[in-house]
Structure 1
Amino acid sequence: MSESRGGDAVLVRGVGKLFGPVSAVHEIDFTVATGSVTALVGPAGAGKSTVLRMVQGLQQPTTGSIEGPGHGPAAVGAVLSPRGLHPARTVREQLRCYAPVAGASRRRAGAVLEETGLAAVAETVVAQLHPGQQTRLALAMAMLADPPLLVLDDLFAGANGIERGWLHELLRRHVNRGGTVLVSSDALADVVASADQLVVLSEGTVVWQGTPAKLRRGHPDRLVVAASPSIALATALAGRGFTDAVMRPDGRLAVAEADEATIRAVAELAQVRIGSIVADPIHPDRVLASLTKPRRHRHTVPTPNPAAYAPAPTSYGMPR
């Protein structure tokens, strides 16, 4: 990994990774801007961990290039999956053992204990911590050298609502201090609250990227209206600029952007009878499911056979 230039912390360009004949990721392109949270999202097997390990320099791309801040704990703080914690050590011992590797003092280890909310369990052995506390400890280790870039694999796994909220706050604090975060998750709902940029992977390729606001505009919450006749209501709404209305199989109209008062006012003017209006907020993970598909197999690079010609398999994943 070479060092990035300009205002970007990480640049991933045309990256592919082969493990023998198996293609884990293919033609990955995205940029992580300095001072932002970028979330790499997709179902299990989409290639997220492979990409993060290449960003950290733990693996080398087969094709393409990655530019970043360099290697070592002073440049990149990493949380891996699994967490790599010694089950028999206490929280304090785990940090003190790793501090020399990170070039950090014991005072810094104590400060990180406070910052991650682990001071109260400092003498507890790792095996007795719940998963959220183990994640905090892995984060504390990543933060010991106060690196500019945090690369966090599967950070929200097993976290409850309170723990997710705390993690969001920590990521935003790091960014507000001028740091940068690249985090992965299987669930869009886990990261959308703190991410500035989303990169969605499916079957080893990037299928969507952009801001959470852009994603929401493409998949808006809707009000589902039982109206008679529905076509007349859709026409009347379109005449007033509300063109995103979808007829459902049951005859109800799913309307985006218009509120209930507007819909009722338009219906009254158009002499359309309203039976009911029900909110249909779209869950982020419904959006993710619509963009991706579970990885049932991995793309295999064919081995040349002089006896017979076998055409190369077609690319998998959603169209880009």
Structure 2
Amino acid sequence: MTASNGDAIRVSGVGKQFDLIGAVHDVDFAVPTGAVTALVGPTGAGKSTLLRLVTGLQQPSSGAIEIGIPGRGPRSIGAVLNPRGLHPARTVADHLRCYAPLACASRHRVDTVLAETGLAPVADTVIAGLPPGQATRLALATALLADPPLLVLDDPFTDAEPFERGWLHELLRRHVARGGSALVSADRLADVVSSADQLVVLSEGTVVWQGSPAKLRRGHPDRLVVAAAPSIALATALAARGFTDAVMRPDGRLAVAEADEATIRAVAESAQVRIASIVADPIHPDRVLASLTKPRRHRHTRQAPQVPAAFVPAPTSAGMPR
């Protein structure tokens, strides 16, 4: 099927049942063409299951998944799933050379992907000796061999150092700048909020929030925490100036959003309110995620079937394009 309205992927009412355990329930979201969409939620929220459904490794128990990629074919989706499917005894270059013919990629394309993923300096390194971040780069390099328009990446930020996260953000932004699309999963909101165009938050197999990072920030703004006497008088004075988002904390301090320190002090002075202290309270993205989700109470008892690391018409766990 083909997704409409310019979407690379459209997920409509999708559910997946494993024996008596429901992995995901009535999930709806779209991945716009030319955008990065992030599936975010705690372990067990259903992210990996949804990615396997999107790539065709599993079939939904209910609902529909539509793929809208012009000229869709076996090389249109590049997937990095778990397990990564890397043979520990091969070198980095040998791994890519083994997959290149199956992806219809030339030796020159292998060299290009090695350079693009920063793996050229370790091309002769045995995979068993790679740190986790470089192993993820190699799985991604495998997925990029066919230069697919759609990337589906299952938590590529796991065990990644800060510079690896930064590199992944840049790669995703370059991919969509060329007109590609990406669906990326993450356990932590902080890992994806700077590169995602839209967020889909999952909790216990259902979508609990979706929208842009800017929309999420507006709903959970940074605050300045003010110790003032009397606090209620300051809140009233701020509201009169249009700063209505002020929350009284249990300790009597006032948590104010959208107003800077100079404004708060000026309003307090005009209202004859004494300020003892003003402390910044920036909200961390993962605090926001924790407020939206809860840990899954049940886990699947049945393992997902393992797929051989090979380039086949359906995507594989080795990160090969579909």
TM-score in terms of structure 1 length? 0.91
Kept in 1: contact 2:40–2:47 (CA 8 A): yes
Q: Distance between the aligned counterparts of 2:232 and 2:122, measured in 1?
A: 62
Q: Distance between the aligned counterparts of 1:96 and 1:292, measured in 2?
A: 42
User: Unpaired runs of 5+ in structure 2?
Assistant: 302-322
Asked if 1:8 corresponds to 2:7, the answer is: yes
Q: Distance between the aligned counterparts of 1:48 and 1:263, measured in 2?
A: 42
Q: Which amino acid aligns with 1:36?
A: A
Q: Distance between the aligned counterparts of 1:299 and 1:118, measured in 2?
A: 36
Q: Distance between the aligned counterparts of 1:120 and 1:154, measured in 2?
A: 25
Q: Distance between the aligned counterparts of 1:40 and 1:73, measured in 2?
A: 24
Q: Which amino acid aligns with 1:97?
A: C
Kept in 1: contact 2:18–2:300 (CA 8 A): no
Map 1:36-185 onto structure 2 (within 5 A).
36-69=35-68, 73-185=74-186
CA-based RMSD of the aligned residues comes to: 1.3
Q: Which residue does 1:190 correspond to in 2?
A: 191
Q: Distance between the aligned counterparts of 1:60 and 1:84, measured in 2?
A: 21
Cα pair distance change 1:49/1:275, threshold 3 Å: same
Q: Distance between the aligned counterparts of 2:203 and 2:4, measured in 1?
A: 29
Q: Which residue does 1:311 correspond to in 2?
A: none
Q: Which amino acid aligns with 1:252?
A: R
User: Unpaired runs of 5+ in structure 1?
Assistant: 301-320
Name the SS for the 2:194 alignment partner.
Answer: coil
Structure 1: 4+ residue segments shifted above 4 A = 69-73
TM-score in terms of structure 2 length? 0.91
Q: Distance between the aligned counterparts of 2:74 and 2:60, measured in 1?
A: 21
Q: Which residue does 1:303 correspond to in 2?
A: none
Q: Which residue does 1:274 correspond to in 2?
A: 275
Cα pair distance change 1:6/1:103, threshold 3 Å: farther
Q: Distance between the aligned counterparts of 1:190 and 1:65, measured in 2?
A: 29
Q: Which residue does 2:296 correspond to in 1?
A: 295
**Structure 1 residue 181, shift from structure 2 partner:** 0.5
Pick which of 80-89 and 213-222 moved more: 80-89
Q: Which amino acid aligns with 2:11?
A: V
**Structure 1 residue 4, shift from structure 2 partner:** 2.1
Kept in 1: contact 2:7–2:68 (CA 8 A): no
Q: Distance between the aligned counterparts of 2:73 and 2:46, measured in 1?
A: 23
**Structure 1 residue 148, shift from structure 2 partner:** 0.5
Q: Distance between the aligned counterparts of 2:130 and 2:300, measured in 1?
A: 39
Q: Distance between the aligned counterparts of 2:168 and 2:299, measured in 1?
A: 32
Asked if 1:213 corresponds to 2:219, the answer is: no
Name the SS for the 1:102 alignment partner.
Answer: coil
Q: Which residue does 1:307 correspond to in 2?
A: none
Q: Which residue does 2:28 correspond to in 1?
A: 29
**Structure 1 residue 72, shift from structure 2 partner:** 5.8
Name the SS for the 1:198 alignment partner.
Answer: strand
**Structure 1 residue 102, shift from structure 2 partner:** 1.2
Name the SS for the 2:102 alignment partner.
Answer: helix
Per-residue displacement from partner, 1:23-45 (whole Å, max 9, x unpaired)? 10000000000000000000000
Per-residue displacement from partner, 1:43-74 (whole Å, max 9, x unpaired)? 00000000000000110000000001477651
Pick which of 42-51 and 4-13 moved more: 4-13
Q: Which amino acid aligns with 1:14?
A: G
Kept in 1: contact 2:6–2:68 (CA 8 A): no
**Structure 1 residue 287, shift from structure 2 partner:** 0.1
Kept in 1: contact 2:34–2:179 (CA 8 A): yes
Per-residue displacement from partner, 1:140-191 (whole Å, max 9, x unpaired)? 0011000000000011001111111110000000000110000000000000
Q: Which amino acid aligns with 1:245?
A: A
Q: Percent identity?
A: 77
